[in-house]
Each structure stands twice: as C-alpha cells, then as structure tokens.
Amino acid sequence: MRRWAHQEAAARLTRAVALVAHLPAADAAAAYPLLLDQLGRVRRGLGDLPGTLQACETLATCARDHSEIGWEASAALHRATVLAWVDSKGSRAASMEGMALSERVDDPLLRANAQGHGAYWQLRLQGARIADVPMAEAIVAAARSAGDHDLLAQSVVMLALLQLALSDLQAAARTAARGIEIARDVGNAYMCLWSYHVRVGALLQLGDWGMAVAAIDEGLRAAAPIDHRHFSSLLRSEVAALHGEALDFAGAAAIAREELLQEGLTDSARQGAMFELAFALLGLGNLDEAFATFTAPQLATAAEGPAMPWSGRLRLRQGLARLWLARGNLDRARGEAEALQALAATTDEPKPRAESAWLLADIALHGGQLSDAEGHLHAARAAIQARELPLVEWRIGATAARVYERQRRRADAQAARQRSIALVNQLADSLPPAHELRHSFLTHAALPEGTKRPRGQHRHG
C-alpha cells in the first residue's frame, strides 16, 4: 500500500482472508476482522465500490455473530464513506448506525470517528458551523496522539473541508497538503485523493491558479495507477472550473462535456461536471441549453433531497439567478437570489452570503435601483471582511464601479475599478507566463478596461 501497489495489496489480503479458515478458532476470530477492515480500505482506495461494500458487509456480519460491537460500528462507518458517492440516504443511515453503535463501546478513537461523521453530515446537509472546527481539530489531535494514521488522514480531510466551507482558504490549502502527505505515507489512496480535491478547491478560490494547476496534475497522476475514476473525474471538473473562472467558457464546456461522456460516473462526479457545463453555457450565452442543464433531474431533483450536498444547492440557486438575469427577467432572478440569501443566512459560511448580496446588487443595478444596489454591495463586502476571496471581491468591485458611474460618483467608480483591475491582474499573474488561460483571461471582453497587458508581459514578485 505504501508503494501505491493497491491491486497487489488487495490480492494478498483476499488470499489472507481465505486462509483464515485454516487457523485455530481463537486466532481466526482475532485475524478475520482486521483483514476484512484492511481489505475494505484497500478496495475503497481503488474505487471498487462493490468490493468495498462486500468487505464491509462481511465484517458487519462477522461482528454481529461474535457480539463485537466495535467492529460492527467500524464497518457501518466505513460503509457510509463509500455510499456517500452513490446513495446519500444509505450513507447517512450507515453513519447514524455507526454513531449509535459507537456509544455502546468504550473506544475513544471510534467515538472520535463517529463524531467526524456527524460533522460531515452537518456540513453536507446544512452547511458549515464555526463551532465544529475545534471539534474537528480535537479529532485530528486524538488520532495523531494515538498513532492511528488512517483516522488521522480522514480527520484531516474533515478539518480541511470545514476550513474550505468557512473560507479560511489558506488554512484549508495547508491542511489538505498535510492530508496528502499523511495519506500517501500510509498508502491511504482514498483520503489522499480526497485531500487533493479539497486543496485544489481552496487554491482555485484563493486565485492561486498556477498552484491549483500543479495540484490537479499531481492528483491525476496519483489516481492514474489505481484507476480511481471518481476522484479523477472531480479533478477534471476542477480543470473545467478553472477555465470557467478564467472566462474561457468554450474550453470549460468542452472539458465538462467530455467528462459527462465517461462511463460509470458516481452521482457526485456527474453533478460536478453538469454544474461546470451549465455555468459555462451561461457564460457563452447559450441560455436555453444552460437552463436545460440546471433543471435536469440530476441537478434539480437531486437538490430536493440529500442526494445533492448543501454546496450544490447553493450553486443551483446562484446559477438560476444568473440565468434569469441574463434573460432579463428581474423578478425571477431576484426570487432565486433571495432564496440563495435565505439559505446562506442559516450557516456561518461567508462566501454564499457575499455572492447572494452581490447578485442582488447586480439585479438592482439592472433595474435602476441604485440605492438598493449600493446597500447590497455593502452587505457583500461585510460578508467577506477579513477573508481572502479575490474572485468574489473582483466581481463585487466591478459591479460597484458600474453603480458608482450611474450615480456620477466618478472618484468612487475609479477606485472600485482600479481595485477590480488589480485583482484581475493578480489572478492572471498566478498562472505561468505561457499558460493558455493567461492571455485569454486578460483579453476577454467581459473584463474592465485597464486589465489588458501586452501578451507575454507579466509582473514579478
């Protein structure tokens, strides 16, 4: 496993499980659950969902037969992590089962594992809470102190996910980088690839696009030998997201379409690719196709239950608000933006609060309600105060410049425009000088005047 030879590890563990039948009863009872647990982890790292679930079910049956509640709880929690990609209801039920069983065992690490599952479902179903961060940090500390490297890798991912949702992006990127190292050292492919996915998300939002490109390439190389299609798909969707943020909507759409042609995509991976396609189509002005994608059952129906995470429901509202705005239907755009604002108000996450306020400002601007637009912009800035979110700040600044121009506040408009320009140049400068997206981003018609620099010219330092 430490050498990333997971197929060979699975073959040896499968052979070991078969050999248990030849051991004395006491030795077999001790070895069997350990081997099944390890086999399930290796198969999970390979992206072998049926094989992982089979190992979990066999472990759970064995544990029940021998009244080993701790192993039964571990099997349920492990099963939950696998089902999360394909069966949200089943995954949550498995988590709840494991959490309940953990309360019947005097095992602090098992309970810590169960606590992490509780935090995950809070994040997935209702958004992040600042109060959950100390708990996640405590689980990391407990796993590290006990030397449980698998639990450490898993709990580090959970902490990074919370930091990402709460827009503590530098911390999220650092935590995910540690998660990559921890998981790679013990051969935990699943948590290693999870960590890559979180790190890329943090770097994209930070506007450190060059580092994000490097992390995506590393993650895809790590996934290639084990043919882990789920995380490979998520990382390729992150490539589409980068193209979309850099205003290369045609490139983003092409990448997303290609990804959706892949066979065997999990629900989460398919949703990710569909979102990138929908937003790319919106950017291209293909509004009918964008609407059809946003309202397809894989997104619209999934958003009505646990099949879509909280973050996806936010993205869907945002996409529909932008679509109705592009169509000139301000009432429907405002309705979607207000629904997004209401959702965002129930969590501690600053980014969706800022984005909903920015959308409402843009809608008010299109309706000529300049005073309302200014109020929404103030709320958007307040939401991300002390947070490093250059992509959001850039859009807020660009809208503010247009509002101030309409109000004939030329000095304020110029200041807002200059700040937006500085952020655009910062984003472009994070890419290597010869990167394909750098020039297209700086010369895109949607960018404000003053961002365009001669091709090949870049800043240092």
- Averaged pLDDT for residues 128-152: 95
Give the confidence band of 446 by pLDDT, cuts at 50, 70, 90. Answer: low
**Cα 84 off chain centre by:** 13
Contact 247, 444 (CB under 8 A): yes
How high is the pLDDT of residue 460?
36
Tell me the percentage of the chain whose pLDDT exceeds 90.
82
**Model confidence over 98-135: pLDDT tens digits?**
999 999 999 999 999 999 999 999 999 999 999 999 99
Q: What is the DSSP string of 327-340?
A: TT-HHHHHHHHHHH
- Rounded Cα distance between 300 and 296, Å, is 6
Mean pLDDT of the chain: 92
How far apart are the C-alpha atoms of 220 and 212, rounded to whole Å?
12
Instruction: Please give the Cα distance from 420 to 358 (Å, whole number).
Output: 14
Give the other-Cβ count within 10 Å of 66's Cβ. 13
- pLDDT score of 58 more than 70: yes
Instruction: Pick the closest to residue 119 from 150, 140, 103 (CA basis).
Output: 140
Vertex 310, ends 193 and 293: CA angle to 5°?
90
Give me the mean pLDDT over the 457-461 stretch. Answer: 39
pLDDT at 447 over 70: no
Q: Tell me which of 449 and 215 has the higher pLDDT.
A: 215
Buried b / exposed e over 47-64, threshold 16 CB at 10 Å, is: bbbebbbebbebbbebbe
pLDDT of residue 449: 53
| Residue 225, pLDDT score | 82
Compute the distance between CA of residue 165 and CA of residue 128 in angstroms, rounded to an integer: 6
Residue with tokens 């996915």: 197
pLDDT band at 453 (very low <50, low <70, confident <90, very high): very low
> Could you give the percent of the chain with pLDDT greater than 70?
96
- What number does CATH give the domain 106-223? 1.25.40
- What is the model's pTM? 0.91
More confident residue, 144 or 439: 144
Q: Which amino acid is at 409?
A: R
Task: Assess contact for 178 and 156: CB atoms under 8 A.
Answer: yes
Q: Estimate to the nearest angstrom the gap between the alpha carbon of 59 and the chain centroid.
A: 30
pLDDT band for position 457 (50/70/90)?
Answer: very low
Residue 448 confidence class, pLDDT cut points 50, 70, 90: low
Residue type, 192: C
